[in-house]
Chains A and B, each alone.
Chain A
């Protein structure tokens, strides 16, 4: 299937252009936030005022931040399609989220604790349901195809892509908005800092592997995918390997690894790297998220479209890996995006230059 277009929001703004700028500019120190009364940590938070399409926001005044991020990204992806009558097509939506509306869920628990279970807010409850973000995309963009929300922690996004491919092959949809969304919250920060290694200086060190350091992030990426092709399509998703052995294929030009500190020890990634294939990792520009694979996948798609190899934003390299250390023009053919989960299972998304 082809990535026809994409949209995104993240800590450094809204839109694909913001992400391309970040890939060019490299790492910036994230903001510091306070959580659990007196603790502080770094976090890559999204500023909602950067959403440019105010008409979209107007249609979802009662929505939470998670849903607004998802709708903004999906709306941009649809708007970038270059297809005149795109909204009249048979479009499905598949939203991947590891943790969903956890911030709104805790807000609902605040209601129960403060006001009692018979005096809670129905609006907060409605927005806390896991599929609320996908539903808002459907309502705001007027999409009446199948609308699905799926979760599988580290492999949420890869699972969504796999399902999108199946739906397209069955002709269940002509186009699918498939993407990921995660929101930062203080409880999440507390959990991550308790269970994992908090970065002392705001830097995720993606090539350190062990110990790995995390900085919570938030944002959303959506892709419009189809088995059709267009002149402006970004690239082809050749394969998604998940819960199966990766087929032996030609050597990729680049490996993008999803190291972001959400595994305390990321040494397992070394198994998938080769000294003769350059490796990149972009989590330091968007933060640690279980569905952060979508952001790295977008980085890969932009590299293929722009014929550009983007330097890894943080380059501490204690193991002497062959890393992408400079931004250079390069005609890239094939990229592997690699993620491991806590069971050391591997998922690979293969992106190929559009023929």
Chain B
């Protein structure tokens, strides 16, 4: 099966930029940035974060925030794809990336265990029910593969790549794929300890960038074989055309300075899509606003696409949502292709002389038929997705 037959039949997203796609596009239009202090838990850390406000109660099962975020996005994507609540009659897989939901890092549980040698099993039960893919699979009674990808910050991108593989190998006809992650005290402390969190709203690719801000959210695509969509009477011009992934084999937390792994992942994604670099209309970059990430990514993108390629980072309006980032940014990339414009790269003001590329400073019309979204992760993993728009099939 050709990648050209992998349609995007639904989009769903929730982040600090909006509780659905239309709110998000509104935020993009106005340049609104909803960064603020942490309200979800007590912390002494002074970092601004991008929290999701007013998470709908109906999507908040058993205090599992990551699952709630995922359900919001999945629900919107399924509605967009005109799929109902009960999908048991179809062959639907689910592949979701996350970082927080895969760990039993409940501080209250652990403190109790440390102090008394005993603790309530409530947090354990929530954790065991909270494997994101399995949770969604059970909730919607899905009849296809279910897998949670825990590949750090490229998890969402990799989950979409895996879903493509499932569709191509015939394991399912439809796949719900993306990522979800909640804001959590443990990674906030961890990223803080690495010295890569900014005390100001983040400024991806900017000369004066001081690091990332953490965020939370979920982004989900409904991917579907063209023949399945045709059977359901669905048409879509949006496609995932290619996926590539490669490792730096270099360092546990730092990207390889020459960006070789990122370059290879992009080459593989373009090759998988069967398109040349000059067909890429814009790049939705990983752009975390850390010194190292943006320097490496900027160099590689300029080398591969030329210094005039239109790029942006949407982390200026969502924060870094970790395992959700690839899913959220995939939704943004597909939506931008569909809408025909990309927003200003929030937070960017001054060019860094060491980065031979300048993100877009204002809402920008896009002409190309394809877009690239990149993800770089702890552990040296690099992943890329190519999206396309064309005639509806």
Interface residues of A (CB under 8 A from B): 36-39, 93, 97, 99-100, 102, 105-106, 108-110, 112-113, 116-118, 120-122, 125-132, 134-136, 138-139, 141-153, 159, 162-163, 165-167, 169-170, 172, 187, 190-191, 194-195, 242-244, 342-343
Contacts and interface: CB of A to CB of B under 8 A. Distances in A.
Closest 9 CB pairs of A and B: A135-B379, A125-B190, A37-B117, A146-B245, A130-B150, A36-B117, A117-B189, A166-B165, A122-B193
Contacts of A129: 99, 152, 378-379
Given A126-B253, A144-B264, A166-B171, A150 B147 contact: yes
Contacts of A148: 149, 151, 158, 162, 245, 381
Contacts of A144: 246-249, 260-261, 264
30 contacts: A36-B113, A36-B118, A110-B114, A112-B185, A112-B189, A113-B110, A113-B111, A117-B43, A120-B192, A120-B193, A122-B193, A125-B189, A129-B379, A130-B102, A130-B151, A131-B378, A132-B252, A132-B379, A134-B151, A144-B260, A144-B261, A146-B383, A150-B150, A163-B165, A166-B165, A190-B113, A195-B121, A243-B144, A244-B144, A244-B171
Nearest to A147: B247
> Chain A CB within 10 Å — which of B45, B166, B195, B246 has the most?
B246
A122 B196 CA distance: 11
B169 A165 contact: yes
B232 interface: no
B30 interface: no
B89 to A, nearest CB: 14
Nearest to A102: B104
Given A122-B190, A125-B194, A138 B133 contact: no
Contacts, number: 208
B168 interface: yes
Given A129-B152, A130-B102, A166 B168 contact: yes
B81 interface: no
Given A150-B149, A150-B150, A159-B147, A170 B107 contact: no
Contact of B150 (A108, A151, A187, A195): A151
Contact of A153 (B114, B128, B165, B171): B128
B105 to A, nearest CB: 5
Interface in B209-242: none
Contact of A146 (B137, B148, B189, B247): B247
B118 to A, nearest CB: 7
Given A113-B107, A130-B102, A138 B249 contact: yes
Q: Chain B: interface residue count, which band? A: 35 or more
B266 to A, nearest CB: 13
Nearest to B147: A159
Contacts of B149: 148-150
Interface of B: 43-45, 93, 99, 102-105, 107, 110-111, 113-114, 116-119, 121, 124, 128, 131, 133-134, 137-138, 143-152, 158, 162, 165-166, 168-169, 171, 185-186, 188-195, 245-253, 260-261, 264, 377-381, 383
B152 A113 contact: no
A139 B253 CA distance: 12
B111 A243 contact: no
Contact of A120 (B111, B165, B189): B189
A20 to B, nearest CB: 31
Contact of A100 (B44, B103, B124, B251): B103
Nearest to A38: B117
A60 to B, nearest CB: 10
A170 B253 CA distance: 30
A126 B190 CA distance: 8
Contacts of A102: 103-104
Given A153-B134, A187-B113, A146 B246 contact: yes
Nearest to B107: A109
Contact of A131 (B111, B150, B185, B260): B150
A185 to B, nearest CB: 10
Contact of A108 (B111, B186, B251, B380): B186
B98 to A, nearest CB: 9
B131 A152 contact: yes
B193 to A, nearest CB: 4
A93 B380 CA distance: 13
Nearest to B137: A243
Given A112-B189, A190-B113, A139 B250 contact: yes
B189 A147 contact: no
Contacts of A139: 249-252, 380
A99 B105 CA distance: 11
A153 to B, nearest CB: 6
